[in-house]
Chains A and B, each alone.
Chain A
């Protein structure tokens, strides 16, 4: 009996390896975990697109809201914009962080594809994005009413990820 266990050991090790490698096949190396979850937003003060106001950490705190990182040069952002417009119509608070963009280009882009944002900060140099750990647009952060980052979504925000990733968390935040 004992001998049989020893004979089977290589097979068990092999099976274990197969399970690990199989799992590895479906991991997405492009989707990095955010180190910012559970942290409050970094302090920032940016010019606000289209107005004289300042876009600061205080602008976006107070209510559960989304902070969407976008740019007019970002192809995927166009695809996302339709859904963001729908969310804005449903009353979801969305703030924009215009990432490494030109003011004129950004304004033109919003005219063309719609503006779902309550307010937009212009991060011309991408410094705030670095503080947020952004590595590509679009990215969407879920903020609670204290300005603490609760979730980050990398890539296009669509109905599926909204329902699976955002809605349960928002419900939890609003009941808490």
Chain B
């Protein structure tokens, strides 16, 4: 019984893929996987926590079509991403690029960890040495 439930779930979640493939036929498996992974990396700007693959918003469909045409035209990932970020900014990417403005975002956690360790060392460890 749990196995069947699990299988049904798998089927449910995989159905969109079959759907996407039939909607956007591509010449090769390589293009197909490029298309799939690009859509997962791109944010729908209307419903911001969804990627372009999942979203039903009108704009998401238009952008999906645009990405599809560019993949079909054998454009590279970076060409497609440049096209979109030139129009919509880095916000369309789920993974923000490492830039001077995003340095704190990327390395902030490490900075805070080091700072925490440092404070810990100064306040707790050093005191026991003194005593």
Contacts and interface: CB of A to CB of B under 8 A. Distances in A.
Contacts, number: 44
Nearest to A13: B115
B20 interface: no
Nearest to A135: B45
Interface in B49-105: 58-59, 62-63, 66, 85-89, 91
B45 A131 contact: no
Contact of B122 (A6, A132, A135): A6
Interface residues of A, number: 21
Interface in A108-161: 125-126, 130-133, 135-136
B87 A130 contact: yes
A34 B66 CA distance: 20
B114 interface: no
Given A130-B63, A135-B45, A135-B59, A35 B88 contact: yes
Interface residues of B, number: 18
B107 to A, nearest CB: 16
B83 to A, nearest CB: 9
B15 interface: no
Contact of B89 (A7, A132, A133): A133
The 7 closest A-B CB pairs, nearest first, are: A135-B45, A133-B87, A35-B89, A126-B62, A133-B88, A6-B122, A32-B91
